[in-house]
Structure 1
Amino acid sequence: MKRLIALLAMGVVANLTACTSTESIGSFWLGDDGEISHSAEPVPVPRGSGLEYHPDSRDREYQQHIAVDPGYRDPLHQGFSPSQTHKRLNDYASQLAMDLMDNATRLTQQDMVGVTSFVRLNESLGDSTVLGNQLSEYLIAELQEFGLAIVDFKMAGGVTVTPFGDFVLSRKANALAKQVSMDHVVTGTIIEDDRGVRINARIVSMQNKQVVASANIYIPAFIVTDLNKGLTAQVPVQ
C-alpha cells in the first residue's frame, strides 16, 4: 500500500511537468496513527504510466511539515522584536542606579552630584544619543531615591516667560549659572552592537577624578529601537 501511494504521488509530478523521462523524488505517506512518514530515497515513475494524482489536504499538511526549520536561531541576531514588553528604559535606569550605589565608596549624602548625558565611546566622547540623554534624566530621580543630593546644572539664571510657556531649563551656555558647586558627577559611555547597547556608568570625583562607583548594564536592541520611534530630525541650538 505504501508503495502504491508513493507511485500515485509521483504520477502527478510527471503529468504536471510534462516529463517524457523518469522523474523521482522522495516518497511520503500518512500512517494509521496520523503521523506523516517520509523517505528521501527516490521512487521511479514509469514513463507513460497514465497515473494521475489529485493533491488533497495531506499534501498541504506535508508541505507545511517539511517547511518548518527545526534548527536553533538566535532571536537577537534574527532581528527579534517583541510585540509587547513590560520592560522600559526607566527599569534599566533603576537597576543601574542600584548597582552604582552597591559599589559606591567615599560617597556621602552631603556630596553634591550632577548627572550628565551618556556618550558614544569614540574619539570625541562628545556624541550622545536619545538613549544617552533619556537615561541620564531617569538617573536623576533614581539616584535621588537613594538619598544623594542631585544638582541640576541645566538651571538657567532666571525664569524665561514666552507665549509658549515659562522655562527655567536651558542648554545655552550663556544662560546658565556661571558657577555650579558639584562634588561628583555621574557619567558614562555607550557601546553599540547588533544585539543592543552596553552602558558603562561611573560616579567620578570632581576634585581628584577618582571613580567612587561604577556599574554596567546591557539594554536590548528592541528597547533602543522603541525609543527612536517617532523621533524627528532636530536642529541643534546654536
Structure 2
Amino acid sequence: MMFSRNLNVALKKRLTCALVFCGLSLSGCTSTESIGSFWLGEDGEITHHEEPVPVPSRSGLQYTPDSRDREYQQHVAVEPGYKDPLHNGYSPSQTHKRLNDYASQLAMELMENTTRLTQQDMVGVASFVRLNQSLNNSTVLGNQLSEYLIAELQDFGLAIVDFKLAGGITVTPVGDFVLTRDGAALAKQVEMDHVVTGTIIEDDRGVRVNARIVSLKNKQVVASANVYIPAFIVMDLNKMARAVSP
C-alpha cells in the first residue's frame, strides 16, 4: 500500500515536471518565432518583416543577438536582384579579367576554328566596328581590342602585318613617330593575304564581339569566333579614354 502511494506521488511529480518543461518549450518556440526576423517560406525563399519582432514580456526570456542576427542584418542591407551596370553604375570592386584576357580568348577560338591558314600568310588586324548601316564607326573597345589581338595572334605563330606603318619616321620635338592614320603618309604598298576584322553589338549588359579572319583574295572566311564582354569592362575603358584624351 505504501509502495503504491509513493509510486503515485512520483508519477505526479514527473507529470508536473513534464508539463512545466513542455510549457517552457512551447513558450520558447513561440518566442523564437517572434524573435526571428526572417524564415524560409513555402517556396524556399527567405521572407522577413520590415522590423524585428520584440520578445513578448510575458515569456520571462531575454534575447541576446548572435552571429545569425548579424548575418541577417548584412543580408537585408543589400537589396536582392540584378542591378543593370549601365543604369545603376554597378562594377565589381575586384575583377581578375581585363580586356586583354578577352582578346586572348578570342584569339584562341579563332585559331581553333581556322581553315587554310598557314604561318606564311600575312595577316593584318583592323579595328572592330559597330554593326550598323555604315560599318565604319569604331569605339574605344574596337580599337583597343584590335591592338591586343596583334600580340595574341602573333603568339600563335601568325605573320602579322602592321599596315598603319608610315613610309618613314617623322621626327618632332616631342617624339619620333612611325605609326599614322593619315592615308597619304602610309606606306605605298603592303603585302597582305588575310585580315582580321569584326563587329561589335552593344546591349544593356555588355558587348558581343564577332571576329573573323577573311582572305583578301577570294573574301573567304577562314576563321570565326565571338566573345561577350561585360558592360563594366567597357565602362572602365571609356573612363580611361576620357581621362587621357587631350
Query: Is the structural similarity TM-score above 0.5?
Result: yes
Match of 2:177 in 1: 167
Letter in 1 for 2:164: K
In structure 1, what is the Cα distance between the partners aligned to 2:82 and 2:122? 44
Q: Specify the alignment match of 1:31 in structure 2.
A: 32
Relative to structure 1, the CA distance from residue 68 to residue 227 in structure 2 (aligned partners, 3 Å threshold; closer, same or farther) is: same
Cα deviations by residue, 1:62-114 (Å, 9 ceiling, x for unpaired): xx97x949985224466531012111000000000000000000000000000
From the two aligned structures, give the one with the greater helix fraction.
2
Q: 1:208 aligned to 2:191?
A: no
TM-score, length of structure 2 as denominator length:
0.68
Q: For 2:184, what is the secondary structure of its paired residue?
A: helix
| 2:42 matched residue in structure 1 | none
1:32, CA displacement in angstroms? 8.2
Give the distance between the partners of 1:230 and 1:80, measured in 2 at CA.
17
What is the Cα deviation at residue 231 of structure 1? 2.7
- Which one-letter code corresponds to 2:241 in the other structure? L
After superposition, the C-alpha distances for 1:24-76 in whole angstroms (9 at most, x for unaligned) are: xxxxx963895248999xxxxxxxxxxxxxxxx99xx9xx97x9499852244
Percent identity, please.
70
Residue 145 of structure 2 is matched in structure 1 by 135
Do structure 1's residue 103 and structure 2's residue 113 form an aligned pair?
yes
Q: Distance in 2 between matches of 1:157 and 1:36?
A: 74
In the TM superposition, what whole-angstrom CA distance separates every residue of 1:134-167 from its partner, at most 9, and x where no partner exists?
0000000000000000000000000000000000
Q: Do residues 187 (structure 1) and 188 (structure 2) align? A: no
- Partners of 2:38 and 2:118 in 1: CA distance: 71
Query: Residue 32 of structure 2 aligns to which amino acid in structure 1?
Result: G
1:73 to 69, 72, 81: 81
Distance 1:93 1:70, change over 3 A: closer
Gaps of 5+ in 2: 1-29, 40-47, 50-63
SS in 2 for 1:231: helix
Closer, same or farther in 2 for the Cα pair 1:80/1:184, shift >3 Å?
same
Question: Are 1:30 and 1:36, in contact at CA under 8 Å, matched by a contact in 2?
Answer: no
Moved more, 30-39 or 197-206: 30-39
Determine which structure has more spread, i.e. the larger CA radius of gyration. Answer: 2
Structure 1 contact 31–37 (Cα < 8 Å) conserved: no
In structure 2, give the amino acid aligned to 1:100. Answer: L
Taking structure 1 as the reference length, the TM-score comes to: 0.70
Equivalent-residue separation in structure 2 for 1:123 and 1:156 (angstroms): 30
Q: Where in structure 2 are the equivalents of 1:51-66 lying within 5 Å?
A: none
Report the Cα distance in structure 2 between the residues aligned to 1:138 and 1:230, rounded to whole angstroms. 16
What SS does the corresponding residue of 1:86 show, helix, strand or coil? coil
Give 1:15's aligned residue: none
Q: Which residue in 1 is equivalent to 2:127? A: 117
Query: What number of residue pairs does the alignment pair up?
Result: 186
Partner of 2:154: 144
Q: Label 1:88 to 1:70 Cα distance change in 2 as closer, same or farther (>3 A).
A: closer
| Poorly superposed stretches of 4+, deviation over 6 Å | 37-40
C-alpha displacement at 1:232, in angstroms? 3.1
